[in-house]
Copies of this chain bind each other. A is one copy, B any other.
Amino acid sequence: KYNGKLLGGLLADGFDEAACTSRYSSFLYRKISFHKPSSYLISRLRSYEDLHKRCGPNTQSYNKALEQLKSGNKIGLTDCNYIVWISFSGLGNRILSLASTFLYALLTNRVLLVDQGKDMADLFCEPFPDKSWLLPRDFPLIDQFDSFNRNSLHCHGNMLKNNVINSSAMSKPSYLYLHLVHDYGDHDKLFFCDGEQSFLENVPWLIMKTDNYYVPSLFLIPSFETELGSLFPEKGTVFHHLGRYLYHPSNHVWGLITRYYRTYLAKADERIGIQIRTFDSRHGPFKHVMDQILACTLKEKLLPSVDMQDSVVNPSENAKLKAVLVTSLLSGYSEDLRNMYWERPTMTGEVVGVYQPSHEEFQQTEKQMHNRKAWAEMYLLSLTDVLVTSAWSTFGYVAQGLGGLRPWILYKTENDTAPDPPCRRAMSMEPCFHAPPFYDCKAKKGIDTGALVPHVRHCEDISWGLKVVDDHDDL
């Protein structure tokens, strides 16, 4: 029998419910996922939890490893190896990069520790039992996190470039900084080669900064292939499962989510999410974007068209009520849409309500309420039945992944005109890796990494990006 509360076994039992209401009640707001976690994934998560309990902050093993780090060189084997994820970039990016890093930790038997930055603790519950995933604030290198970059002394790629280390070296540093930010260089990208992976194996502390969902390239590392196949027999579900496993909104954020849902969305017969994000330096709203949204939603029949004749179509008593949840930095798009469905009847007799939780006008990071709301909105989008997202946006990827939704993606506009077609259905619900390497580690030359295996393809929204798809996905 399917255990809804534990998401089919994905979640461990026994957490304190009051400390994190969302963990065991999210299932009340979602349809049961079509995608069951494999029993192997479940068992690996349970054993990760054991590892984390044994090695987490302030355990004996942690203290021992910390000693090594402080002494600066590696003396013998450590009980536990760690990967520290540095809080970096927008919230959507963080959620995706952290999930990638958790998968990497699973694959390499490392303990994941999370730099809490300004607000990680305010946004998310602890995902692992007993021991925190937050890096203690007295961690030795913590003050250097901000300044770590591709040229840092301990940067893995930089060291390779300068021949300070090479993969066959016998002595290993006690820590390395891994720079997987979009501006990373060719030597940083060697991270995705088996050779470097085996070199990294015995480095007790890896400190990673990234703004990417780099899972697709993990699928291209031969030594991870079998394990990934067992963890995810259905390949296009990596973020879906790991995201639901890791990200439980804090009680504050859960309040935002549940109040909004119950107030505006719960009573609708169908919920449509539209995530509008234009990467345009001008302020907007833009007519061509509104045109595109309408062209997509009407053409794909996600929303009913309106009667421009304004004939008297009276909503029938049992006409469907559709709720459109719009997220956008601006209020203009949702206002236009709301007015359209107010001013004219639909051809189907349905009534359509349009809702937008916030319009912050400008992107702001590191403001507490701002990020709470951004997270609540991604989550609310994930509770919809039908999702439309904007190309390039990790905000949308998070929603589609958590929701288990294959969205319609609005193509990026060029030259202020609505693209034609305006949107397309995503091949899978997986996020796109925006800055993948194009390197054949064996042949040591460039290669199209989107053409190597059937389950790693170029993204719908970014031609050079990579994403994981199911073998049977509708391509």
* Chain A positions near chain B (C-beta within 8 angstroms): 18, 21, 251-252, 254-256, 258-260, 262-264, 267, 310, 312-315, 319, 321, 339, 341-345, 351-353, 357-358, 369
Contacts and interface: CB of A to CB of B under 8 A. Distances in A.
B310 A352 contact: no
A260 B21 contact: no
Nearest to A315: B262
Nearest to A250: B312
Given A255-B345, A315-B258, A353 B310 contact: no
A256 B369 contact: no
Contact of A351 (B18, B256, B263, B357): B263
B264 A353 contact: yes
Given A264-B353, A267-B267, A353-B264, A341 B310 contact: no
A321 B321 CA distance: 17
Given A258-B315, A262-B351, A263-B351, 6 more contacts: A255-B314, A256-B343, A258-B314, A259-B345, A264-B353, A343-B369
Tell which of A255, A264, A341, A353 has the most Cβ of chain B within 10 Å: A255
A342 B260 contact: yes
Contacts of A315: 258-259, 262
Name the residue among A18, A259, A358 with the largest chain B CB count within 10 angstroms: A259
Contacts of A341: 259, 263
A437 B358 CA distance: 50
A267 B263 CA distance: 10
Given A321-B263, A352-B263, A342 B357 contact: yes
Contacts of A18: 312
Main SS of chain A's interface residues? helix
A312 B255 contact: yes
Contacts of A345: 255, 259
Nearest to A345: B255
B251 A312 contact: yes
A248 to B, nearest CB: 14
Contacts of A321: 262-263, 267
17 contacts: A21-B314, A251-B312, A254-B312, A255-B312, A255-B314, A255-B345, A259-B341, A259-B351, A262-B319, A262-B321, A262-B351, A263-B341, A263-B351, A263-B352, A264-B353, A267-B267, A339-B358
A350 to B, nearest CB: 10
Contact of A21 (B254, B312, B351, B353): B312
Interface centre among A267, A342, A357 (most CB of B within 10 A): A342
Nearest to A314: B21
Contacts of A310: 252, 255
Contact of A353 (B251, B258, B263, B343): B263
A348 to B, nearest CB: 13
A343 B352 CA distance: 25
A342 B258 contact: no
A259 B346 CA distance: 10
A1 B168 CA distance: 97
Would you list the 8 A-B pairs with minimal beta carbon distance, nearest first? A263-B353, A267-B267, A263-B351, A251-B312, A262-B351, A262-B315, A259-B351, A264-B353
Nearest to A251: B312
Nearest to A268: B267
Nearest to A19: B312
A344 B252 CA distance: 9
A387 to B, nearest CB: 21
A182 B301 CA distance: 54
A18 B314 CA distance: 11
Which of A254, A256, A262, A357 has most chain B Cβ within 10 Å? A262
Contacts of A342: 256, 259-260, 263, 357
A316 to B, nearest CB: 10
Nearest to A372: B343
Contacts of A339: 358
